[in-house]
Amino acid sequence: MAKGGPEYDIDINRKRNMSDMEIIKRLLRYVKPFIKPLIIAFVLVLIVVGLDLLGPLFIAEVLDALGEDNIPIVKIIVIVVIYLVALFVGAFLSYKQTIILQVTGQKIIYDIRQDVFEHIERLSISQYNQIPIGKLVTRVTSDVDTLNMLYTDVIISLIRDVLTLVGVFVIMFIKSPILALYILALTPAIFLVSYVFRKFSRKAYRRVRTNVSIINAFLSEHLSGMKLIQIFNREDKKYKEFVEKNKKLNHSHYQRVLAFSLYRPSIYLLYIAAIIIILWEGSYQVIDGVISFGVLFAFTQYINRFFQPIQNLAEQFDTLQSAFTSGERIFDILDTKPIITDSPDAIELNNFRGKIEFKNVWFAYNEGEWVLRDVSFVVQPKETMALVGATGSGKTTIISLIVRNYDIQQGEILIDDINIKDIKLDSLRKNIGQMLQDVFLFSGTIESNIRLRDESITDAEILEACKYVNADQFIQKLPEKYDEPVRERGNNFSSGQKQLLSFARTLVHKPSLMILDEATANIDTETEKLIQESLKKMMNIGTTIVVAHRLSTIQHADQIIVMRKGKIIEMGNHQELLKQKGHYFQLYKLQYDKNISDNLDLINMNI
């Protein structure tokens, strides 16, 4: 399986294949089911922004009332009370709105995540071997999370900011068209500064991201290759390389700081300019009696609310960019279709007997590099077939073809005389029990690893299966017995124990056909004996195909196939093959040379 671990993608700035529009369109598809709450949220935002914008007007009213010769104190109290009420209502609606939006955003994220996971889960084994697991995990986890920001933060603040901008302008225009137009005249400058900043900061941001990725990739590689660096005395040189990369990273961070250091104060400068315009022209207007001084003060407050949204908009651009990048990655994986699929008229396997036939099968993982060449054999129901041969001779490939992890290029594979391409994949695999060479255990308990979430399996069945395959003995010795925790990848169990658990797991799911890739790992003699015993029993249950490394396993087979470079070179049962005096005979002779010490086991039929 491909190497996992987190992904340090240096190609972060590569050009995207999908256009922004395309990504937005596809992202919006997930929004569709939630259109109603989103409309509600939108209406609420409208009210919230409106109420918020009333604030300075209330203050203006109070100030102007205070300016009257006879201060109308009751009126002031009424205004203050209304203001307070508006605040409460505003806060309440704002809370409602945020929650609706966030909850909806989370629901959308849930949907996307579920989609991505389901999709990846259904990809074919060969695709898993092509894409690093780390990348697949990132799609489901952080990439989806990046989108979260888009749905909850970016979109709504975009709406809020635009509404505020328009609202402020409208109010200013109503109160004093001339002042409003003056401020409007300033906006091109604001947009220009923001535009320049956006260009500059985007570049800086990209550089930061690239350099972060580079340095993380370097770290990840060199921390795992530290042994080599030390052995070759390359610490100093590698340190220099690291500092070089770190310098670049530091430099890009500095550029980003510089971008913000120029932008934020520039916007402040424009803010001051706006304040000056308002105070200057506004004071004249007050003196000329066009507006009240309360309104003038309100204007100074509105200016604040005018600049904030623009600043937000400019700064949110980075978030938007990374959301698009993540979006594209997600859609890329969603567009990767599983290679092995059911044909439209595929059938269910009923009353499975367990006959397997290979008819002139040719297979290559990569075009032109044949791994199986013209392989033909028949295994009758309930028979056991052992595959023998050197590493790379094609044994393991044969068993992965039976469960249709790959499709063959030429020939036919028949199960109960039906071509496996015409059998529903689920139905095929449900009938076949697979025991793979590297037993994978999930973190959980022994019980959960045998049951594998199939709630129809009873505890009694699990116990029975474990007893049958001799796993019960060691399980009973564990402190928690069947509830003994299994750590990540099952590394608290020996490979022999894992092997037994894998037998039990297969058995409890009642397969009609079993395929087994015998472990080559060193297993202590005692466990080895238990494994041999249970194997013998299991072979009697149904059709069994074994990639065999141990002589005793092979001897009990009804049929033995000796493979070499993807071809069958000898075929027959134990006795027949001995008579042939071919490769098998020589192997056997070697194994049973009684003069050899007990260490014989170590060079078992591991060929």
Partner 1 sequence: MLFGKHINKYYLKYGIFFLIGLAALVVVDFVQLEIPNIIGTIIDGLELKTLAKEDVVVFVKDIAIFGLIIVGGRFLWRIFIFGTSWRIDFDLRNKMFAHAEKLSQTYYSEKKSGGLMALFINDLNAIRMAFGPGLLMLFDIIILGTLAFYRMFTLDRTITYFAAIPLALIAVMATYISKITGKKFKARQQAFEDLSDFTQENFYGISVIKAFVNEVREIRAFAKINKRNQDKNVSYIKASTFLHIAVEMFINIIRVTMLGVGAYLVYKTINTNDVFSIGDLTRYIAYFGTLIWPMMAIGRLINMRAQAKASLDRVSAFLNAEVEIHDEKEVVNVEKIEGKITFNNLTFRYPKTEKDVLKNINFVIEKGQTVGIIGRTGSGKTTLVDLLLRLYNLKTCELLIDDTDIMKLPIKTIRDAIGYVPQENFIFSDVIRNNISFAKDEADQELIKQMAIYSDIHDNIVDFPNQYDTMVGERGVTLSGGQKQRISIARALLKNPEILIMDDSFSAVDTKTEEQVISNLRELRKGKTTIIIAHRISTIKSSDQIIFIENGEVMAKGTHEELLKSCELYRKMVIHQRLEAELEGEVE
Tell me which residues in 132-171 interact with partner 1 (CB under 8 A). Answer: 133, 136-137, 140-141, 145
| Whether the Cβ atoms of residue 386 and residue 546 lie closer than 8 Å to each other | yes
Determine the Cα–Cα distance for residues 543 and 384; give it in Å rounded to an integer. 6
Question: Which region, judged by CB under 8 A, interacts with partner 1, from 28-36, 158-166, 195-203, 271-279?
Answer: 271-279
Q: What is the DSSP string of 416-434?
A: TTEEGGGB-HHHHHHHEEE
Residues 278-297 that bind partner 1 (CB under 8 A): 279-280, 283-284, 286-287, 293, 296-297
What residues from 505 to 544 belong to the interface with partner 1 (CB under 8 A)? Answer: 505, 509, 522
- Contact status, residue 292 vs residue 67, Cβ threshold 8 Å: yes
According to CB under 8 A, which residues from 341 to 400 bind partner 1? 389-390, 392-393
Phi, psi (degrees; rounded to nearest 5) at 202? -65, -45
- 35 vs 452, which CB is nearer to partner 1? 452
Q: Segment contacting partner 1 (CB under 8 A): 92-100, 177-185, 406-414, 491-499?
A: 92-100
Give residues 472-491 in contact with partner 1 (rule: CB under 8 A): 488-489
Instruction: Identify the residue among 42, 169, 242, 317 touching partner 1 (CB under 8 A).
Output: 242
Shorter beta-carbon distance to partner 1: residue 21 or 236 = 236
Shortest distance (Å) from residue 465 CB to partner 1:
14
Nearest CA among 520, 544, 569, 550 for reference residue 394: 569
Site stretch for partner 1 (CB under 8 A), options 173-181, 247-255, 473-481, 551-559: 247-255
Closer residue to partner 1 (CB): 237 or 481: 237
Candidate list 203, 353, 429, 529; residue touching partner 1; CB under 8 A = 429
Site for partner 1 in 202-221 (CB under 8 A): 215-217, 219-221
Stretch that binds partner 1, among 72-80, 341-349, 477-485, 526-534 (CB under 8 A): 72-80
Nearer to partner 1, 380 or 437 (CB): 437
Q: Is the CB of 214 or the CB of 320 nearer to partner 1?
A: 214
Tokens 């799609």, residue located: 139
Give least dist CB 472 to partner 1, A: 21
User: Which residues 542-571 are close enough to bind partner 1 by CB under 8 A?
Assistant: 562, 564-565
Nearer to partner 1, 21 or 233 (CB): 233
Q: Does residue 324 contact residue 154 with C-beta atoms inside 8 Å?
A: no
Which stretch in 159-167, 250-258, 460-468, 477-485 sits in contact with partner 1 by CB under 8 A?
A: 250-258
Could you say whether residue 99 binds partner 1 (CB under 8 A)? yes
Residue 224 interacts with partner 1 (CB under 8 A)? yes
Contact with partner 1 (CB under 8 A) among 35, 39, 43, 71: 71
The single-letter DSSP state of residue 137 is: H
Pick the closer one to partner 1 by CB: 15 or 21. 15
Q: CB of 447 within 8 A of CB of 483?
A: yes
Across 569-595, b (16+ Cβ under 10 Å) vs e yields: ebbbebeebeeeeebbeebbeebeeee
Residue 272 binding partner 1, by CB under 8 A:
yes
The closest alpha carbon to 299, from 22, 578, 57, belongs to 57
**Which residue among 13, 95, 335, 376 contacts partner 1 (CB under 8 A)?**
95
What residues contact 33, with CB distance under 8 A and at least 6 apart? 111
Give 558-577 as a DSSP string.
Answer: SEEEEEETTEEEEEE-HHHH
Q: Which residue type is seen at 193?
A: V
Q: Please count the residues of the chain.
A: 607
Residue 338: Cβ-neighbour burial (10 angstroms; 0-12, 13-18, 19+): middle
Cα of 399 vs its chain's centroid, Å: 29
118 binds partner 1 (CB under 8 A): yes
Count other C-beta atoms under 10 Å from residue 306's C-beta. 22
x/- track of binding to partner 1 for residues 432-461 (CB under 8 A): xxx-x---x-xx--------xxx-------
Residue nearer to partner 1 on the CB measure, 125 or 186: 125
Query: How far apart are alpha carbons 252 and 406 in whole angstroms?
Result: 47
Instruction: Map tokens 């990725």 to a residue.
Output: 213
Distance CA 446, CA 357 (A): 35
Shortest distance, CB of residue 20 to partner 1, whole angstroms? 25
Which is nearer to partner 1, 24 or 54 (by Cβ)? 54
Q: What is the DSSP string of 446-472?
A: HHHHHHTT-TTS-HHHHHHHHHHTT-H
Distance CA 498, CA 531 (A): 11
**Spatial separation of the C-alpha atoms in residues 73 and 40, rounded to whole Å:** 39
Sign of CA pseudo-dihedral 433, 436, 442, 448: positive
Site size for partner 1 (CB under 8 A): 143
- In the bound complex, what is the minimum distance in angstroms from residue 91's beta carbon to partner 1? 4
Residues paired with 485 in a beta bridge: 445
Does the protein bind partner 1 through residue 337 (CB under 8 A)?
A: no
CA nearest 504: which of 451, 560, 465?
Answer: 465
Q: Catalogue the E-assigned strands of 497-540.
A: 513-517
Q: Which of the ranges 225-233, 307-315, 348-356, 358-366 carries the binding residues for partner 1, by CB under 8 A?
A: 225-233
Closer CB to partner 1, 67 or 473, in the complex: 67
Q: Toward partner 1, which CB reaches closer, 25 or 239?
A: 239
Q: Which of residues 586-605 bind partner 1 (CB under 8 A)?
A: 586-587, 590, 593, 595-597, 599-600, 602-603
Applying CB under 8 A, does 107 fall inside the site for partner 1?
yes
CB atoms within 10 A of CB 257: 11
Query: Contacts with partner 1 in 300-319 (CB under 8 A)?
Result: 300
**Binding of partner 1 by 276 (CB under 8 A):** yes
